[in-house]
Amino acid sequence: GKPLIALVGKPNVGKSTLFNRIVESQRQALVEDIPGTTRDRYYGEAIVYGKQFQVVDTGGMVGDSTTQQDQFSQMIKTQATIAMDEADVIVFVVDYRTGITQVDRDLARMLRNRQQKGQHVLVVANKADSHMMIEGFETDMKTTLTRFGLGEPFPMSSIHGHGVLDLLERITKLL
């Protein structure tokens, strides 16, 4: 089948915004309809530089503000694990604006194990909306994210689109 890209990360980091951007923008670039293209909420298809792949958004994660933090974290990990199991490339999304928390560190540890087993992982710091934030990334969050040991992290803005093409290029190079 087509390679699968999984978007994982805490709630509210911008996974669904990124998912929609990848699927919507690429849909317009399609020169022909792909049979079986799903309009499912969590799975989408994209084609970048002639390479087709599926994208899965782990946005099905449940939980709300009344959920205990421990349970919440556990649900995130469970859902992320399901999505990651089948993925050829895992895109680990963190929130540049709110910074790194224990949940990010836990996910990073799981991803290191997967990377060691041969799965590809890309780390993106989302919500880097301005040039100032992109420049600040070099001196600020980059060091922290590099310590995850998952490869070179890079800033992105799902809302504005900065860095999204860069991400897609990195993905296609891994496929």
User: Whose Cβ is closer to ligand GDP: residue 51's or residue 94's?
Assistant: 94
Rounded CA-CA distance 104/9 in Å is 7
The span of 31-39, 110-118, 124-132, 167-175 binding ligand GDP (CB under 6 A) equals 124-132
Cβ neighbours around 115 below 10 Å, total: 16
Rounded CA-CA distance 115/111 in Å is 6
Q: Are 172 and 145 spatial neighbours (Cβ–Cβ below 8 Å)?
A: no
For the chain, give the longest Cα–Cα distance: 47
The span of 9-17, 124-132, 143-151, 161-169 binding Mg ion (CB under 5 A) equals 9-17
Does the protein bind ligand GDP through residue 127 (CB under 6 A)? yes
Does the protein bind ligand GDP through residue 15 (CB under 6 A)? yes
The DSSP 8-state label assigned to residue 42 in this structure reads: S
Residues 34-93 that bind ligand GDP (CB under 6 A): 59
Which of Mg ion, ligand GDP, none lies near 158, with the C-beta cut-off 5 to 8 A by kind? ligand GDP
Which amino acid makes up residue 90? I
Q: Euclidean distance between the first and final Cα of the chain, in Å?
A: 12
User: Whose Cβ is closer to ligand GDP: residue 41's or residue 173's?
Assistant: 41
Residues that bind Mg ion (CB under 5 A): 15-16, 59
Residues that bind ligand GDP (CB under 6 A): 9, 11-17, 59, 126-127, 129, 157-159
